[in-house]
Chains A and B, each alone.
Chain A
Amino acid sequence: QQQVKQSPQSLIVQKGGISIINCAYENTAFDYFPWYQQFPGKGPALLIAIRPDVSEKKEGRFTISFNKSAKQFSLHIMDSQPGDSATYFCAAVSGAGSYQLTFGKGTKLSVIP
């Protein structure tokens, strides 16, 4: 059972545009939602994360929007740059005592000049 559904699988955006990646979850016990960025040949790296007690978190050009009632969250990349081309994974983890991150299947973003 896939507990975190991520879409789209791939995304092509022009330089300067907005990239939007969406995730939906089922488990209401999830209480921490990180996004990871992975470049080819590298391991994933934490990009930005949010807890469900806030509806939005912004770090530079990257913003997470969170809708607790709909059990959905999304990553927005403003002014997308070719250097943002990577695979992005959303993830979720439940609270105290849990060590397991549940990952979405990933979105391959290509930003074209």
Chain B
Amino acid sequence: NAGVTQTPKFQVLKTGQSMTLQCAQDMNHNSMYWYRQDPGMGLRLIYYSASEGTTDKGEVPNGYNVSRLNKREFSLRLESAAPSQTSVYFCASSARLAGGPNEQFFGPGTRLTVL
């Protein structure tokens, strides 16, 4: 049981390049999330998927797109990377049972640098 996995672990891009961050979970969770973490800013939600087939914007969605490929996989795409998108990106998942707490499990992160 690997939990939440993310690829790649590290990535360097040039301004204007595109890339897709991959995330997969093996806990049969319904909901998945993408966050970015910047020094002194905590974690900010980019997009989330409440269930397979749905996606919604979070706090900081501009410059990103997501795809919920199936129940296990949720990808984050940067179409034209900018230096402001230099950050550590975390994927998370939760069971989100009805009436239950939103306990989220996080992956190890992708460290992205945009030059």
* Chain A residues packing against B (C-beta within 8 Å): 6, 9, 32, 34, 36, 41-46, 49, 51, 89, 93, 96, 98-101, 103-106
Of all chain B residues, the one with the shortest Cβ separation from A4 is: B42
Q: Could you tell me if B101 and A34 are in contact, using CB atoms closer than 8 angstroms?
A: yes
Contact A105 to B106, CB < 8 A, known contacts A34-B101, A99-B50: no
Of all chain A residues, the one with the shortest Cβ separation from B94 is: A99
Q: In this assembly, does B102 line the interface, its C-beta being within 8 Å of a C-beta of chain A?
A: yes
Contact for A105 among B31, B40, B98, CB less than 8 A: B40
Contact for B109 among A34, A42, A93, A106, CB less than 8 A: A42
Docked pose: A45 CA to B103 CA in angstroms: 10
Taking residues whose C-beta sits less than 8 angstroms from the other chain, chain B's interface range is 20 to 34
* Chain B residues packing against A (C-beta within 8 Å): 4, 31, 33, 40-45, 48, 50, 56, 58-59, 90, 92, 94, 96, 98-99, 101-109
| Inter-chain contacts of B33 with A (CB < 8 A) | 99
| Inter-chain contacts of A32 with B (CB < 8 A) | 101-102
Q: A interface, by DSSP: helix, strand, loop or mixed?
A: loop
| Inter-chain contacts of B104 with A (CB < 8 A) | 46, 101
Q: Could you tell me if A43 and B106 are in contact, using CB atoms closer than 8 angstroms?
A: yes
Docked pose: A33 CA to B31 CA in angstroms: 19
Of all chain A residues, the one with the shortest Cβ separation from B32 is: A99
Q: How close is A3's CB to chain B, nearest CB, in angstroms?
A: 10
Q: Could you tell me if B31 and A99 are in contact, using CB atoms closer than 8 angstroms?
A: yes
Docked pose: A51 CA to B99 CA in angstroms: 12
Contact A98 to B43, CB < 8 A, known contacts A42-B108, A43-B107, A43-B108: no
Contact for B90 among A6, A43, A98, CB less than 8 A: A43
A-B contact pairs, 7 of them (CB 8 A): A32-B101, A44-B43, A99-B33, A99-B56, A103-B43, A104-B42, A106-B42
| Inter-chain contacts of B42 with A (CB < 8 A) | 6, 89, 103-106
Contact A99 to B101, CB < 8 A, known contacts A105-B42, A106-B42: no
Shortest 10 CB-CB contacts between residues of A and residues of B: A43-B106, A105-B42, A103-B42, A103-B43, A32-B101, A93-B102, A44-B106, A43-B108, A106-B42, A99-B48
